[in-house]
Amino acid sequence: MASSLLTAFALMLIVEGLLPFIAPAAWRETFLRLASMADGQIRFIGLSSMLAGLAMLFIVL
């Protein structure tokens, strides 16, 4: 279980690092746009991301 969790965490870090590595200006602009959003909008994005990840997890398992 711990090995799978560490693998998942490592993959998440790789995916999260792709955009800043490939297109730092676009990443900065996206981050600034995100910082100017209201809390409710950010929560909706977070909830949508979690639900998409949960759906993908159910599909894989």
| Interval 1-31: pLDDT, tens | 888 889 989 999 999 999 999 999 999 999 8
Distance, CA of 56 to CA of 61 (rounded, Å): 9
Q: Contact, 22 vs 15, CB < 8 A?
A: no
Give residue 40's pLDDT: 96
Burial class (CB in 10 A: 0-12, 13-18, 19+), 26: exposed
Q: Tens digits of per-residue pLDDT, 23-53?
A: 999 999 998 999 999 999 999 999 999 999 8
**Where are the chain's structural domains?**
2-60
Give residue 2's pLDDT: 82
Give residue 1's pLDDT: 81
